Amino acid sequence: MHPLTKLYARKMFRQKLIYVFFICFFTASFFYAFLIQAPQIEDMLNIDVRIVGRKNFPEFMMRFYVGTVGILFNAFLMTLFICEEDRNKLLYQPLLHGESRNQMILSKICVALSMSMAFILLTAFINYATAFMRWGKEIFDAAAVIRILEKYLLSGVYMSVITLGIIALCVCTRNPWKTIFFMILYILIDAFICNSDLSLVQKIWIGYYPDLWLFSYEYQGIPLSEALGGILVIALYGVVFFQISLHRIKKMNF
Amino acid sequence: MEKIITVQNLRKTYKRETAVENVCFELLPGNIMGLLGTNGAGKTTTLKMITNLCPRDKGEIIIDGASLDSNPKLALSKIGASLDTPAFYPELTAKENMECFANLHQNIPHRQVAELLNYVGLSAQAEKKVKKFSLGMKQRLALARAMLGKPKLIILDEPANGLDPQGQIDLYRLISDMANNQNTAFIVSSHQLHDMEKFCTDILILDKGKSILQGKTQQILSEPTNIVDCVLEDTEHAARLLSRLHGIHLTSQNGNHFTVILEYICLDEFIRKLMENNLYIGHLSVRKHSLQDLFLKLTGGETSCIH
């Protein structure tokens, strides 16, 4: 591993926000697991506990990470990782020690994407752990586990590309609040597009596919064609975000 | 001797504003160049262009024979720099911070971190977290970090900022020692004109992005001024004469010590006039420029003795 990537990974692991967030997520998951069959919760969330509990619980809980919460968490983390470092004059320090701008942003991206995927897997682990505490071994239905893990991995791909987008935003705006503002704007536009009848726009919209996977195919397997089509569109966004980051970093005045 | 850095026709504009225009200079190994200028004169932008932190619009920079355009990695490997306020990972110790950056260099012996911390007088604080450091300690740590890999040229942007007088003296002594003993060249931007005058071998003054004075410090400061200090006997007669003599301006009198500015007459003529008026000259000397006088004169600041 490149020393700069190692340095950034080490820096990332020291972010207290990550630990606070996942402790909160574990607590929420734990309480959901134990309260989900209470009649009040059933009415409040408009859910059928016979479906969302047991083997489907980890899939049900996925929606609380893949979407607004996860996106905002990643946005806060990336602003600390890039904008705050930039503001504190730390971002360019490796350039004074012989590193290139490309290497610097590649190391940042490498750490951020690995973390994005790791966070999704950690979310899966937390949800399975709380489900196991509540229902025991009956959650491990082979077909359901495979189906749910597939969805977690697909969501991981989506969240990684969203993280790439946040990095591109950070590099372009160089301001944490502007970045967060644009991400909130994205979430609003995403909600509008996903709930609209604009089928053509939906087909080319990055946020449409996770919505499709999580809600339209809820507790069902995703057809291969839908999964591949979604991955292709999301990957195209990824390439664009990546190129924007590379292009902007070259022109940045530190 | 091979030049350590050659800068030619450097230019940088931000939108419509020109930050640096046509700046050129050269520096030899072991020399210390003071980069002076008022706030916003273009000092930091110049340093950032040299370190490639700021893309330039025009100009060429060659560092120890390597062009920053065609071989940036090699060129930048010869430079160590500390720009802006010293920035470190606050949660890490001084040693850990140094090691983080040492790892980015190739072939740095493990002991170099300890040696450098010792060199800047921070070995006792090596295991202390940087967030607990004073600004002076951070400045010294920044110097140690800039020295990683033993670069041939070290660039320091206002390194004495926030240091107490003793800290400033220690820092400049450290820089001079390095320049003399290790033949390291330095470019140091600062507002401490008095200190810069004493320890810089070369001076470059920028104003509104343009170079308005550059050269060897000794040469620049050795040029005589038009300010004359003299001790004259018969104080009352001397004061009367000096206050009405054409072509000079009496600026101060302290007993029989007089300071005059020769406005329209030369030194020989002034002395002749004193003698013609039977004034006995106890002592007479022509003042030399101080860097501060020159700086204020060139940048349009207030000055009471340079015309």
Chain A partners of B104 at a C-beta cutoff of 8 Å?
3-4, 7, 94, 97-99
Tokens of A68: 């607004």
Q: Is the dihedral of CA B38, B40, B44, B45 positive or negative?
A: negative
Q: Minimal Cα–Cα distance from B148 to chain A, Å?
A: 8
Amino acid at the residue B267: L
pLDDT single digits (tens) B75-120: 998 999 999 888 999 989 999 999 999 988 878 888 899 999 998 8
The answer for B 47-76 residues in CB contact with A (under 8 A) is: 48, 51-55, 72-73, 76
Q: Does A90 touch chain B (CB under 8 A)?
A: yes
Q: Minimal Cα–Cα distance from A164 to chain B, Å?
A: 23
| Closest residue by Cα to residue A160 from A95, A74, A63 | A74
Q: Number of CB pairs < 8 Å for A and B? A: 60
With a cut of 80, say whether residue B205 has pLDDT above it.
Answer: yes
Assess contact for B203 and B36: CB atoms under 8 A.
yes
Assess contact for B13 and B57: CB atoms under 8 A.
yes
End-to-end Cα distance, chain A = 26
Interchain contact, B83 vs A96, CB within 8 Å: yes
- Choose from B104, B105, B113 for mutation: most chain A CBs within 10 A: B104
Chain B partners of A250 at a C-beta cutoff of 8 Å?
55
Q: Pairing state of beta strands B58-63 and B248-254?
A: unpaired
pLDDT single digits (tens) B241-289: 888 888 888 888 888 999 998 888 888 899 998 888 888 899 998 887 7
List every span in chain B annotated with CATH 3.30.70: 224-288
DSSP at B258: E
DSSP SS3 for B125: helix
- Report the residue from A6, A14, A89 with minimal CB separation from B84: A89
pLDDT single digits (tens) B42-75: 999 999 999 999 999 999 999 999 999 998 888 9
pLDDT band, very low/low/confident/very high, at B301 (cuts 50, 70, 90): low
Q: Does A2 touch chain B (CB under 8 A)?
A: no
CATH class as words, domain B224-288: alpha beta
Chain A partners of B53 at a C-beta cutoff of 8 Å?
92, 95-96, 253-254
Residue B103 to residues A4, A92, A94, B51, B120: CA-CA distances in angstroms? Answer: 8, 16, 10, 19, 20
Q: Give the C-alpha separation, A230 to A237, whole Å.
A: 11
- Report the residue from A7, A88, A250 with minimal CB separation from B87: A88
Q: Give the C-alpha separation, A225 to A219, whole Å.
A: 18
Average pLDDT, chain B: 89
CATH superfamily to which B5-217 belongs: P-loop containing nucleotide triphosphate hydrolases (3.40.50.300)
Q: Does A4 touch chain B (CB under 8 A)?
A: yes
With a cut of 50, say whether residue B303 has pLDDT above it.
Answer: no
pLDDT single digits (tens) A183-241: 999 999 999 999 999 999 999 999 999 999 988 888 888 999 989 999 999 999 999 99
Q: With a cut of 0.90, is the ipTM above it?
A: no
Q: Does A16 touch chain B (CB under 8 A)?
A: no
Average pLDDT by stretches of 10, chain A with 254 residues: 90 92 95 80 70 85 91 95 92 90 95 95 95 90 92 95 96 96 96 92 94 89 92 96 96 90
- Report the residue from A11, A98, A254 with minimal CB separation from B76: A98
Q: Does B99 touch chain A (CB under 8 A)?
A: no
Q: Does A89 touch chain B (CB under 8 A)?
A: yes
Q: Does A247 touch chain B (CB under 8 A)?
A: no
- Which spans in chain A are helix H? 3-13, 16-35, 39-45, 49-52, 57-62, 68-78, 84-87, 101-135, 142-173, 176-194, 199-204, 208-211, 224-251
Q: Minimal Cα–Cα distance from B139 to chain A, Å?
A: 14
- Report the residue from A11, A250, A254 with minimal CB separation from B54: A254
Chain A partners of B149 at a C-beta cutoff of 8 Å?
97-98
Chain B partners of A89 at a C-beta cutoff of 8 Å?
83-85, 87
Q: Give the C-alpha separation, A15 to B39, whole Å.
A: 36
- Report the residue from A94, A96, A253 with minimal CB separation from B54: A253
List every span in chain B annotated with CATH 3.40.50.300: 5-217
Interchain contact, A253 vs B55, CB within 8 Å: yes
With a cut of 60, say whether residue B305 has pLDDT above it.
Answer: no
Assess contact for B61 and B6: CB atoms under 8 A.
yes
